[in-house]
Amino acid sequence: MKTQSPDSIIARTEPGTLRGLACVLRSAVAVLAKDLRCEFRVKQAISAILLFAVTSCIAVSFTLSAYGGNSPVSATLLWIVVYFSAMSGLSRSFVREEDMRTAALLRLSTSPGSVYLGKLAFNWLLVTALQIVAVPLLIVFLGMNVSGWAEFAGVMLAGGLALSAGATTAAAMVSKAATKGAVFAVICFPLLAPALAASIHGSSLAMDPRAIMSAAGDIRILASYCGTLITASLMLFRFIWED
Amino acid sequence: MISLCVSDLTHEYDERLVFRSVSLEFEGSCLSITGHNGSGKSTLMRILAGLLTPTQGRAEFSCDGMRVARDSLRNMVGLAAPDVGLYGELSARENLAFLSSVRFGRIDSKRIERTLESVGLAERSDDPVNELSSGLRQRACFAAAILHEPPILLLDEPSSNLDDRGVAMLKELIALQKERGMVIIATNDASEAALAQETLRLGVAH
Protein backbone atom coordinates (compact mmCIF):
# COMPACT_ATOMS: atom_id res chain seq x y z
CA MET A 1 0.00 0.00 0.00
CA LYS A 2 1.42 3.35 -1.06
CA THR A 3 1.50 6.07 1.62
CA GLN A 4 1.81 9.80 1.10
CA SER A 5 4.98 11.34 2.44
CA PRO A 6 4.72 14.59 4.43
CA ASP A 7 6.78 16.32 1.72
CA SER A 8 4.17 15.74 -0.96
CA ILE A 9 1.36 16.72 1.37
CA ILE A 10 3.03 19.95 2.44
CA ALA A 11 3.60 20.83 -1.22
CA ARG A 12 -0.08 20.27 -2.02
CA THR A 13 -1.39 22.47 0.76
CA GLU A 14 1.36 25.08 1.04
CA PRO A 15 -0.26 28.43 1.75
CA GLY A 16 0.85 31.61 0.01
CA THR A 17 1.33 30.02 -3.42
CA LEU A 18 -1.00 30.10 -6.41
CA ARG A 19 -1.40 26.34 -6.11
CA GLY A 20 -2.27 26.68 -2.43
CA LEU A 21 -4.79 29.43 -3.24
CA ALA A 22 -6.40 27.28 -5.94
CA CYS A 23 -6.72 24.40 -3.40
CA VAL A 24 -8.36 26.73 -0.87
CA LEU A 25 -10.83 28.04 -3.48
CA ARG A 26 -11.68 24.55 -4.77
CA SER A 27 -12.35 23.37 -1.22
CA ALA A 28 -14.43 26.50 -0.54
CA VAL A 29 -16.60 25.69 -3.57
CA ALA A 30 -17.03 22.13 -2.24
CA VAL A 31 -18.09 23.48 1.20
CA LEU A 32 -20.57 25.82 -0.53
CA ALA A 33 -21.99 22.99 -2.66
CA LYS A 34 -22.35 20.75 0.41
CA ASP A 35 -24.11 23.50 2.38
CA LEU A 36 -26.50 24.19 -0.53
CA ARG A 37 -27.29 20.49 -0.88
CA CYS A 38 -27.95 20.13 2.88
CA GLU A 39 -30.05 23.31 2.89
CA PHE A 40 -32.17 22.15 -0.07
CA ARG A 41 -32.90 18.92 1.85
CA VAL A 42 -33.80 20.44 5.24
CA LYS A 43 -34.74 24.03 4.22
CA GLN A 44 -34.02 25.29 7.73
CA ALA A 45 -32.23 28.59 7.19
CA ILE A 46 -34.09 29.63 4.03
CA SER A 47 -37.49 28.93 5.63
CA ALA A 48 -36.63 30.95 8.75
CA ILE A 49 -35.29 33.87 6.71
CA LEU A 50 -38.07 34.02 4.12
CA LEU A 51 -40.85 33.55 6.65
CA PHE A 52 -39.48 36.43 8.71
CA ALA A 53 -39.07 38.59 5.58
CA VAL A 54 -42.58 38.00 4.24
CA THR A 55 -44.21 38.47 7.65
CA SER A 56 -42.35 41.70 8.39
CA CYS A 57 -42.99 43.11 4.88
CA ILE A 58 -46.73 42.52 5.28
CA ALA A 59 -46.73 43.88 8.85
CA VAL A 60 -44.90 47.02 7.71
CA SER A 61 -47.33 47.54 4.82
CA PHE A 62 -50.37 47.61 7.17
CA THR A 63 -49.40 50.85 8.87
CA LEU A 64 -46.55 52.43 6.91
CA SER A 65 -47.72 52.24 3.29
CA ALA A 66 -48.27 56.01 3.32
CA TYR A 67 -44.49 56.48 3.70
CA GLY A 68 -43.59 54.44 0.58
CA GLY A 69 -42.67 57.54 -1.39
CA ASN A 70 -40.34 58.80 1.35
CA SER A 71 -37.00 57.32 0.36
CA PRO A 72 -35.19 57.56 3.77
CA VAL A 73 -38.13 55.83 5.50
CA SER A 74 -38.43 53.18 2.76
CA ALA A 75 -34.68 52.51 2.78
CA THR A 76 -34.63 52.19 6.57
CA LEU A 77 -37.61 49.81 6.55
CA LEU A 78 -36.04 47.75 3.75
CA TRP A 79 -32.78 47.27 5.63
CA ILE A 80 -34.54 46.59 8.94
CA VAL A 81 -36.42 43.79 7.20
CA VAL A 82 -33.25 42.48 5.50
CA TYR A 83 -31.10 42.74 8.66
CA PHE A 84 -33.49 41.05 11.09
CA SER A 85 -34.57 38.40 8.58
CA ALA A 86 -30.92 37.59 7.88
CA MET A 87 -30.13 37.40 11.59
CA SER A 88 -32.81 34.73 12.00
CA GLY A 89 -30.98 32.32 9.68
CA LEU A 90 -27.36 33.25 9.03
CA SER A 91 -25.97 31.79 12.25
CA ARG A 92 -27.31 28.35 11.26
CA SER A 93 -24.40 27.57 8.93
CA PHE A 94 -21.93 27.18 11.81
CA VAL A 95 -24.33 26.36 14.63
CA ARG A 96 -25.59 23.34 12.69
CA GLU A 97 -22.04 22.03 12.21
CA GLU A 98 -21.50 22.09 15.99
CA ASP A 99 -24.95 20.72 16.83
CA MET A 100 -24.68 17.83 14.35
CA ARG A 101 -21.05 17.08 15.41
CA THR A 102 -19.86 17.62 11.85
CA ALA A 103 -17.59 20.56 12.75
CA ALA A 104 -14.82 18.10 13.70
CA LEU A 105 -15.18 16.36 10.32
CA LEU A 106 -14.81 19.71 8.59
CA ARG A 107 -11.80 20.65 10.75
CA LEU A 108 -10.16 17.32 9.93
CA SER A 109 -10.79 17.63 6.19
CA THR A 110 -10.12 21.15 5.03
CA SER A 111 -8.38 24.40 5.84
CA PRO A 112 -10.03 27.14 7.93
CA GLY A 113 -9.80 29.54 4.96
CA SER A 114 -11.85 27.19 2.76
CA VAL A 115 -14.48 26.81 5.47
CA TYR A 116 -14.77 30.58 5.95
CA LEU A 117 -15.02 31.34 2.22
CA GLY A 118 -17.50 28.51 1.61
CA LYS A 119 -19.74 29.61 4.49
CA LEU A 120 -19.45 33.27 3.43
CA ALA A 121 -20.56 32.40 -0.12
CA PHE A 122 -23.46 30.34 1.26
CA ASN A 123 -24.60 33.17 3.54
CA TRP A 124 -24.29 35.71 0.71
CA LEU A 125 -26.52 33.53 -1.47
CA LEU A 126 -29.08 33.35 1.36
CA VAL A 127 -29.06 37.14 1.79
CA THR A 128 -29.38 37.63 -1.99
CA ALA A 129 -32.37 35.25 -2.06
CA LEU A 130 -33.85 37.21 0.82
CA GLN A 131 -33.37 40.50 -1.04
CA ILE A 132 -34.92 39.03 -4.20
CA VAL A 133 -38.05 38.25 -2.17
CA ALA A 134 -38.14 41.30 0.15
CA VAL A 135 -37.53 44.09 -2.39
CA PRO A 136 -40.46 43.27 -4.74
CA LEU A 137 -42.72 42.74 -1.70
CA LEU A 138 -41.85 46.19 -0.35
CA ILE A 139 -42.30 47.74 -3.81
CA VAL A 140 -45.78 46.19 -4.01
CA PHE A 141 -46.97 46.59 -0.39
CA LEU A 142 -45.24 49.85 0.53
CA GLY A 143 -45.30 51.53 -2.89
CA MET A 144 -41.53 51.96 -2.66
CA ASN A 145 -39.98 53.75 -5.70
CA VAL A 146 -36.50 53.15 -7.06
CA SER A 147 -35.13 55.77 -9.43
CA GLY A 148 -31.57 54.53 -9.94
CA TRP A 149 -31.79 50.77 -10.40
CA ALA A 150 -28.09 50.21 -11.15
CA GLU A 151 -27.00 52.04 -8.00
CA PHE A 152 -29.74 50.33 -5.98
CA ALA A 153 -28.55 46.91 -7.18
CA GLY A 154 -24.96 47.88 -6.34
CA VAL A 155 -25.95 48.89 -2.77
CA MET A 156 -27.99 45.68 -2.36
CA LEU A 157 -25.11 43.47 -3.49
CA ALA A 158 -22.42 45.29 -1.48
CA GLY A 159 -24.67 45.65 1.57
CA GLY A 160 -25.66 41.99 1.35
CA LEU A 161 -22.01 40.93 1.16
CA ALA A 162 -21.14 43.14 4.16
CA LEU A 163 -24.01 41.64 6.15
CA SER A 164 -22.91 38.13 5.19
CA ALA A 165 -19.23 38.74 6.00
CA GLY A 166 -20.00 40.09 9.47
CA ALA A 167 -22.60 37.44 10.21
CA THR A 168 -20.32 34.59 9.06
CA THR A 169 -17.52 35.67 11.40
CA ALA A 170 -19.96 36.23 14.28
CA ALA A 171 -21.65 32.86 13.66
CA ALA A 172 -18.32 31.05 13.90
CA MET A 173 -17.57 32.87 17.16
CA VAL A 174 -20.89 31.99 18.80
CA SER A 175 -21.29 28.44 17.47
CA LYS A 176 -19.86 26.90 20.65
CA ALA A 177 -21.66 29.24 23.06
CA ALA A 178 -24.54 27.99 25.18
CA THR A 179 -26.86 30.91 24.34
CA LYS A 180 -26.05 31.17 20.65
CA GLY A 181 -29.02 33.27 19.48
CA ALA A 182 -28.61 36.07 22.01
CA VAL A 183 -24.82 36.21 21.70
CA PHE A 184 -25.06 36.24 17.88
CA ALA A 185 -27.33 39.30 17.86
CA VAL A 186 -25.15 41.07 20.45
CA ILE A 187 -21.95 40.50 18.44
CA CYS A 188 -23.51 41.25 15.05
CA PHE A 189 -24.99 44.66 15.75
CA PRO A 190 -21.79 46.60 16.57
CA LEU A 191 -19.92 44.70 13.86
CA LEU A 192 -22.54 45.47 11.21
CA ALA A 193 -23.69 48.95 12.30
CA PRO A 194 -21.33 50.85 9.90
CA ALA A 195 -22.38 48.65 6.96
CA LEU A 196 -26.04 49.02 7.86
CA ALA A 197 -25.72 52.84 8.00
CA ALA A 198 -23.99 52.97 4.60
CA SER A 199 -26.53 50.56 3.07
CA ILE A 200 -29.48 52.63 4.30
CA HIS A 201 -27.91 55.88 3.10
CA GLY A 202 -26.97 54.42 -0.31
CA SER A 203 -30.41 52.85 -0.83
CA SER A 204 -32.10 56.10 0.13
CA LEU A 205 -30.07 58.01 -2.48
CA ALA A 206 -30.78 55.36 -5.14
CA MET A 207 -34.52 55.62 -4.43
CA ASP A 208 -34.73 59.42 -4.40
CA PRO A 209 -35.22 60.91 -7.90
CA ARG A 210 -34.27 64.37 -6.57
CA ALA A 211 -31.03 63.25 -4.94
CA ILE A 212 -28.02 65.41 -5.83
CA MET A 213 -25.47 62.92 -4.49
CA SER A 214 -24.82 59.52 -6.05
CA ALA A 215 -24.87 56.28 -4.07
CA ALA A 216 -21.43 55.44 -5.51
CA GLY A 217 -19.74 56.80 -2.37
CA ASP A 218 -21.74 54.44 -0.16
CA ILE A 219 -20.98 51.51 -2.49
CA ARG A 220 -17.26 52.34 -2.17
CA ILE A 221 -17.59 52.48 1.64
CA LEU A 222 -19.35 49.09 1.62
CA ALA A 223 -16.73 47.60 -0.71
CA SER A 224 -13.94 48.85 1.59
CA TYR A 225 -15.78 47.50 4.63
CA CYS A 226 -16.19 44.08 2.95
CA GLY A 227 -12.54 44.02 1.85
CA THR A 228 -11.29 44.87 5.34
CA LEU A 229 -13.64 42.53 7.18
CA ILE A 230 -13.10 39.55 4.84
CA THR A 231 -9.30 39.97 4.90
CA ALA A 232 -9.25 40.28 8.70
CA SER A 233 -11.62 37.32 9.06
CA LEU A 234 -9.47 35.15 6.77
CA MET A 235 -6.40 35.97 8.84
CA LEU A 236 -8.09 35.43 12.21
CA PHE A 237 -10.57 32.69 11.37
CA ARG A 238 -8.27 29.79 12.23
CA PHE A 239 -8.05 31.07 15.82
CA ILE A 240 -11.86 31.10 16.03
CA TRP A 241 -12.35 27.80 14.21
CA GLU A 242 -9.63 25.60 15.68
CA ASP A 243 -9.88 24.51 19.37
CA MET B 1 8.23 4.67 9.32
CA ILE B 2 5.84 6.59 11.51
CA SER B 3 6.51 7.30 15.16
CA LEU B 4 4.65 9.04 17.93
CA CYS B 5 6.24 11.08 20.70
CA VAL B 6 4.08 12.25 23.58
CA SER B 7 5.90 14.23 26.23
CA ASP B 8 4.61 15.50 29.54
CA LEU B 9 1.09 15.85 28.14
CA THR B 10 -1.48 17.38 30.48
CA HIS B 11 -4.99 18.47 29.68
CA GLU B 12 -7.65 20.31 31.65
CA TYR B 13 -11.19 21.31 30.70
CA ASP B 14 -11.76 24.61 32.46
CA GLU B 15 -10.21 23.62 35.78
CA ARG B 16 -10.99 19.90 35.66
CA LEU B 17 -7.88 17.83 35.16
CA VAL B 18 -8.35 15.08 32.55
CA PHE B 19 -4.85 13.60 32.61
CA ARG B 20 -1.45 14.74 33.78
CA SER B 21 2.11 14.24 32.51
CA VAL B 22 1.44 11.49 29.98
CA SER B 23 4.63 10.53 28.16
CA LEU B 24 5.17 7.90 25.50
CA GLU B 25 7.46 7.08 22.61
CA PHE B 26 6.03 4.62 20.12
CA GLU B 27 7.38 3.38 16.83
CA GLY B 28 5.28 0.60 15.43
CA SER B 29 2.06 -0.15 13.61
CA CYS B 30 -0.57 -0.47 16.35
CA LEU B 31 -0.99 1.22 19.71
CA SER B 32 -3.96 0.88 22.01
CA ILE B 33 -5.08 3.36 24.63
CA THR B 34 -7.14 1.99 27.49
CA GLY B 35 -8.64 3.45 30.64
CA HIS B 36 -11.94 3.75 32.43
CA ASN B 37 -14.68 6.15 31.33
CA GLY B 38 -13.55 9.73 31.82
CA SER B 39 -9.86 8.86 31.91
CA GLY B 40 -9.22 11.02 28.82
CA LYS B 41 -8.97 8.50 25.96
CA SER B 42 -11.15 10.55 23.62
CA THR B 43 -9.43 13.78 24.68
CA LEU B 44 -6.05 12.25 23.88
CA MET B 45 -7.36 11.09 20.47
CA ARG B 46 -8.56 14.63 19.71
CA ILE B 47 -5.16 16.01 20.69
CA LEU B 48 -3.41 13.46 18.46
CA ALA B 49 -5.73 14.39 15.56
CA GLY B 50 -4.87 18.07 16.00
CA LEU B 51 -8.42 19.01 17.01
CA LEU B 52 -7.42 20.08 20.49
CA THR B 53 -4.40 21.92 21.89
CA PRO B 54 -3.19 20.36 25.13
CA THR B 55 -2.93 22.51 28.23
CA GLN B 56 0.69 21.46 28.59
CA GLY B 57 3.18 19.21 26.81
CA ARG B 58 3.41 17.96 23.24
CA ALA B 59 2.15 15.13 21.09
CA GLU B 60 3.89 14.81 17.73
CA PHE B 61 4.01 12.34 14.90
CA SER B 62 7.11 11.90 12.78
CA CYS B 63 7.32 10.29 9.38
CA ASP B 64 10.73 9.01 8.27
CA GLY B 65 12.34 11.24 10.90
CA MET B 66 10.48 14.39 9.80
CA ARG B 67 8.14 15.98 12.32
CA VAL B 68 4.59 16.26 10.97
CA ALA B 69 3.41 19.86 11.33
CA ARG B 70 -0.08 20.52 12.68
CA ASP B 71 -1.24 21.89 9.31
CA SER B 72 -0.18 18.65 7.62
CA LEU B 73 -1.95 16.45 10.18
CA ARG B 74 -5.20 16.99 8.24
CA ASN B 75 -3.78 14.92 5.39
CA MET B 76 -1.88 12.43 7.51
CA VAL B 77 -4.56 11.48 10.03
CA GLY B 78 -7.97 9.85 9.80
CA LEU B 79 -10.17 9.88 12.89
CA ALA B 80 -13.28 7.81 13.54
CA ALA B 81 -14.79 8.82 16.86
CA PRO B 82 -18.25 9.16 18.41
CA ASP B 83 -17.95 12.97 18.36
CA VAL B 84 -17.09 13.11 14.65
CA GLY B 85 -20.40 12.95 12.81
CA LEU B 86 -21.38 12.82 9.17
CA TYR B 87 -23.97 14.99 7.41
CA GLY B 88 -27.18 13.14 8.25
CA GLU B 89 -29.28 14.46 5.36
CA LEU B 90 -26.66 13.32 2.84
CA SER B 91 -25.99 9.71 1.90
CA ALA B 92 -22.71 7.99 2.77
CA ARG B 93 -21.70 8.32 -0.90
CA GLU B 94 -22.50 12.07 -0.90
CA ASN B 95 -20.54 12.53 2.33
CA LEU B 96 -17.53 10.81 0.79
CA ALA B 97 -17.95 12.82 -2.44
CA PHE B 98 -17.83 16.01 -0.36
CA LEU B 99 -14.72 14.82 1.51
CA SER B 100 -13.12 13.84 -1.80
CA SER B 101 -13.86 17.32 -3.20
CA VAL B 102 -12.33 19.17 -0.24
CA ARG B 103 -9.33 16.86 0.02
CA PHE B 104 -8.47 16.24 -3.63
CA GLY B 105 -10.30 19.05 -5.45
CA ARG B 106 -12.41 16.53 -7.38
CA ILE B 107 -14.79 13.66 -6.81
CA ASP B 108 -12.75 10.48 -7.07
CA SER B 109 -15.56 7.98 -7.80
CA LYS B 110 -13.30 4.91 -7.95
CA ARG B 111 -11.77 5.70 -4.57
CA ILE B 112 -15.23 6.30 -3.09
CA GLU B 113 -16.52 2.94 -4.40
CA ARG B 114 -13.43 1.15 -3.11
CA THR B 115 -13.82 2.74 0.31
CA LEU B 116 -17.54 1.96 0.55
CA GLU B 117 -16.87 -1.67 -0.36
CA SER B 118 -14.04 -1.96 2.14
CA VAL B 119 -16.39 -1.03 5.00
CA GLY B 120 -19.28 -3.13 3.65
CA LEU B 121 -21.54 -0.19 2.93
CA ALA B 122 -21.86 -0.41 -0.87
CA GLU B 123 -25.49 -1.60 -0.81
CA ARG B 124 -26.78 1.15 1.51
CA SER B 125 -24.49 3.90 0.25
CA ASP B 126 -27.32 5.98 -1.27
CA ASP B 127 -29.50 6.07 1.85
CA PRO B 128 -29.33 9.24 3.97
CA VAL B 129 -26.97 8.68 6.90
CA ASN B 130 -29.80 9.65 9.30
CA GLU B 131 -31.76 6.61 8.09
CA LEU B 132 -28.93 4.13 8.70
CA SER B 133 -28.69 1.99 11.81
CA SER B 134 -26.03 2.93 14.38
CA GLY B 135 -23.79 0.09 13.14
CA LEU B 136 -24.01 1.18 9.51
CA ARG B 137 -23.45 4.79 10.56
CA GLN B 138 -20.31 3.61 12.35
CA ARG B 139 -19.15 1.98 9.11
CA ALA B 140 -19.83 5.24 7.25
CA CYS B 141 -17.62 7.03 9.82
CA PHE B 142 -14.83 4.52 9.14
CA ALA B 143 -15.23 5.20 5.41
CA ALA B 144 -14.87 8.95 6.01
CA ALA B 145 -11.75 8.35 8.13
CA ILE B 146 -9.97 6.15 5.57
CA LEU B 147 -11.07 7.79 2.30
CA HIS B 148 -7.74 9.61 1.89
CA GLU B 149 -5.80 6.49 2.91
CA PRO B 150 -4.10 8.26 5.83
CA PRO B 151 -0.81 6.91 7.15
CA ILE B 152 -2.18 7.37 10.69
CA LEU B 153 -5.63 6.10 11.65
CA LEU B 154 -7.18 6.95 15.02
CA LEU B 155 -10.11 4.81 16.12
CA ASP B 156 -12.04 5.79 19.24
CA GLU B 157 -14.23 2.96 20.65
CA PRO B 158 -14.44 1.52 17.11
CA SER B 159 -16.53 -1.59 17.82
CA SER B 160 -19.09 0.06 20.10
CA ASN B 161 -22.03 -0.26 17.64
CA LEU B 162 -20.86 -3.14 15.49
CA ASP B 163 -22.26 -6.66 15.11
CA ASP B 164 -20.04 -9.72 14.55
CA ARG B 165 -19.67 -9.05 10.83
CA GLY B 166 -18.87 -5.43 11.61
CA VAL B 167 -16.18 -6.48 14.08
CA ALA B 168 -14.65 -8.79 11.46
CA MET B 169 -14.64 -5.91 8.96
CA LEU B 170 -13.00 -3.69 11.60
CA LYS B 171 -10.24 -6.25 12.19
CA GLU B 172 -9.56 -6.36 8.43
CA LEU B 173 -9.44 -2.58 8.36
CA ILE B 174 -6.96 -2.52 11.26
CA ALA B 175 -4.80 -5.18 9.58
CA LEU B 176 -4.74 -3.13 6.36
CA GLN B 177 -3.89 0.04 8.26
CA LYS B 178 -0.99 -1.69 10.02
CA GLU B 179 0.51 -2.29 6.56
CA ARG B 180 -0.19 1.30 5.51
CA GLY B 181 1.27 3.00 8.57
CA MET B 182 -0.01 3.29 12.12
CA VAL B 183 -3.31 2.68 13.86
CA ILE B 184 -4.13 3.92 17.35
CA ILE B 185 -7.18 2.42 19.06
CA ALA B 186 -8.83 3.87 22.14
CA THR B 187 -10.78 1.00 23.62
CA ASN B 188 -11.78 -0.95 26.68
CA ASP B 189 -12.33 -4.10 24.64
CA ALA B 190 -9.60 -6.59 25.52
CA SER B 191 -9.68 -8.28 22.08
CA GLU B 192 -9.12 -4.95 20.32
CA ALA B 193 -6.38 -3.93 22.74
CA ALA B 194 -4.69 -7.27 22.07
CA LEU B 195 -4.21 -6.28 18.41
CA ALA B 196 -1.72 -3.63 19.52
CA GLN B 197 2.00 -3.97 20.06
CA GLU B 198 1.87 -1.57 22.99
CA THR B 199 -0.84 -0.32 25.33
CA LEU B 200 -1.01 3.06 27.00
CA ARG B 201 -3.14 2.92 30.15
CA LEU B 202 -4.68 6.17 31.27
CA GLY B 203 -5.37 6.24 34.99
CA VAL B 204 -7.50 8.23 37.37
CA ALA B 205 -6.90 11.97 37.25
CA HIS B 206 -6.67 13.59 40.71
- Residue A4 binned pLDDT confidence (cut-offs 50, 70, 90): very low
pLDDT in tens, A83-135: 999 988 888 888 889 989 999 999 999 999 999 999 999 999 999 999 999 99
pLDDT at A227 over 50: yes
Residue A14's pLDDT band (boundaries 50, 70, 90)? low
Interface contact flag, B101 A26, Cβ < 8 Å = yes
Q: Determine contact, residues B40/B18, Cβ cutoff 8 Å.
A: yes
- pLDDT tens for each residue of B68-85: 988 889 899 999 999 999
pLDDT of A230 reads 96
- How many CB atoms lie under 10 A from the CB of residue A7? 12
**A34–B90 C-beta distance less than 8 A:** yes
pLDDT band at A64 (very low <50, low <70, confident <90, very high): confident
Q: Is B58 helix (H, G, I), strand (E, B) or coil?
A: strand
Using one digit for the tens of pLDDT, what is the confidence trace for A159-193?
999 999 999 999 998 887 767 777 888 889 899 99
Nearest CA in chain A to B149: A3
Of A30, A100, A243, the CB nearest to B85: A100
Euclidean distance between CA atoms B149 and B77, whole angstroms: 9
How far apart, in whole angstroms, are the C-alpha atoms of residue B124 and residue B127?
6
Q: Considering chain A, what percentage of its residues have pLDDT values greater than 70?
A: 92
* A30/B98 Cβ within 8 A: yes
Tell me whether residues A1 and B179 touch, CB distance under 8 A: yes
* Mutant choice from A27, A101, A109 vs B, greatest count of B C-beta within 10 A: A109
At residue A39, does pLDDT exceed 50?
A: yes
Q: What is the ipTM of this complex?
A: 0.91
Q: What is the pLDDT of residue A211?
A: 77
Residue A66 has pLDDT above 80, yes or no: no
> A101 — contact with chain B (CB < 8 Å)?
yes
What is the separation, in whole angstroms, between the first and last Cα of chain B?
Answer: 36
* Chain A residue numbers touching B98 (CB-CB < 8 A): 30, 33-34
pLDDT beyond 60 at A7: no
pLDDT at A16: 64
Out of A1, A6, A104, name the one closest to residue B180 (CB): A1
* pTM as predicted: 0.89
Mutate to test the interface with B, among A105, A114, A119, A238 (most CBs of B within 10 A): A105
Yes or no, beta carbons of B74 and A111 under 8 Å apart: yes
Q: How do beta strands B30-34 and B198-201 pair?
A: parallel
Nearest CA in chain A to B67: A6
The more confident residue out of A65 and B191 is B191
Q: What is the pLDDT of residue A5?
A: 44
User: How far apart are alpha carbons A97 and B76 in whole angstroms?
Assistant: 23
Higher pLDDT, A42 or A222: A222
Task: State the pLDDT at residue A1.
Answer: 40
Using the Cβ of A114 and the Cβ atoms of chain B, whether some distance falls under 8 Å is answered with yes
Give the pLDDT of residue A182.
77
The residues near A132 (Cβ < 8 Å, ≥ 6 apart) are none
Q: Which of residues 110-149 of B touch A (CB under 8 A)?
A: 144, 149
Query: How many CB atoms sit inside 10 A of residue A148's CB?
Result: 17
Better pLDDT: A213 or B145 = B145
Minimum mean pLDDT range among A2-16, B47-61, B92-106: A2-16
How high is the mean pLDDT of chain B? 93
Q: What is the mean pLDDT of residues B176-204?
A: 91
Contact between chains at A38 and B83 (C-beta distance less than 8 A): no
Q: How far apart are CA A66 and CA B24, in angstroms?
A: 75
Confidence of residue B169 (pLDDT cuts 50, 70, 90): very high
Q: Per-residue pLDDT for A6 more than 50?
A: no
Give chain B's length. 206
Res A8 pLDDT > 50: no
pLDDT digits (tens, 9 = 90+) for B98-129: 999 999 989 999 999 999 999 999 999 999 99
